[in-house]
C-alpha cells in the first residue's frame, strides 16, 4: 500500500501501560505491557548528542508505509529511509510527524548514531511494535547507565 494510514485511538491506554523506554546510551528500546518487558530491540539514534529528544512523550500518530516528504519518496518504496512503519511522538511540541520511531532501508546502521533525531528500528521490529502500540502510549527517551528494567522501575512503569 502506497498511502499512509493515520488514525486516532478512541481512548488513551492506562498511564504506563503500554510504555516504551529508549536508552540512547546503548541504543536499545524496550516495550513494556502489564508491568513486564515484552520485547527489546536494538535501535539507531541521533548522530549528534541532543538530536534525539529526551524526556517523556506521547505517541500521537501512526502510519503504514509513510511518505518521505523531504525527498518526495513514496511509502512502500525500497528507497524510502522511513521503512515500513512510522510511530510519531510529540517531542518539542510537534504533531508526531517530525520525530518518530520508524523502520529503515539501511538495516546495517542499526546500533549506530546516524539519525537526525528519529529512532530507527529494523523493519520487522517496527512492524511488530506497530501492532502493539496504540496512539496515546507514553515513551521515555534518555541516556542512562542503567538497564531498561532499572529505568522502568525508576520511572514507575514496573514495580
3-state secondary structure of 65: coil
Catalytic one among 33, 92, 108, 118?
Answer: 118
Catalytic one among 92, 102, 108, 128?
Answer: 102
Is 108 an active-site residue? no
Is 92 an active-site residue? no
| Residues 133, 7 contacting (CB under 8 angstroms) | no
Report the distance separating Cα 95 and Cα 88, nearest Å.
8
Torsion of CA 23, 130, 99, 155, to 10 degrees: -40
The closest of 87, 70, 68 to 135, measured between CA atoms, is 87
Which residues lie across from 56 on neighbouring strands?
Answer: 140
Q: Mind telling me the catalytic residues?
A: 102, 118
Amino acid at each position: 500500500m502506497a498511502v499512509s494510514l493515520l488514525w486516532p485511538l478512541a481512548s488513551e491506554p492506562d498511564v504506563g501501560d503500554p510504555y516504551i523506554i529508549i536508552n540512547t546510551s546503548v541504543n536499545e528500546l524496550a516495550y513494556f505491557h502489564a508491568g513486564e518487558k515484552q520485547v527489546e530491540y536494538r535501535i539507531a539514534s541521533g548522530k549528534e548528542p541532543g538530536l534525539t529528544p529526551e524526556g517523556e512523550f506521547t505517541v500521537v500518530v501512526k502510519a503504514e508505509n509513510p511518505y518521505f516528504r523531504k525527498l518526495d519518496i513514496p511509502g512502500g518504496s525500497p528507497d524510502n529511509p522511513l521503512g515500513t512503519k512510522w510511530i510519531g511522538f510529540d517531542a518539542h511540541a510537534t504533531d508526531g510527524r517530525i520525530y518518530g520511531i520508524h523502520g529503515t532501508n539501511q538495516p546495517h546502521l542499526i546500533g549506530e548514531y546516524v539519525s537526525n533525531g528519529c529512532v530507527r528500528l529494523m523493519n520487522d521490529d517496527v512492524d511488530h511494535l506497530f501492532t502493539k502500540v496504540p496512539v496515546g502510549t507514553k515513551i521515555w527517551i534518555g541516556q542512562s547507565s542503567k538497564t531498561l528494567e532499572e529505568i522502568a522501575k525508576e520511572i514507575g512503569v514496573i514495580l
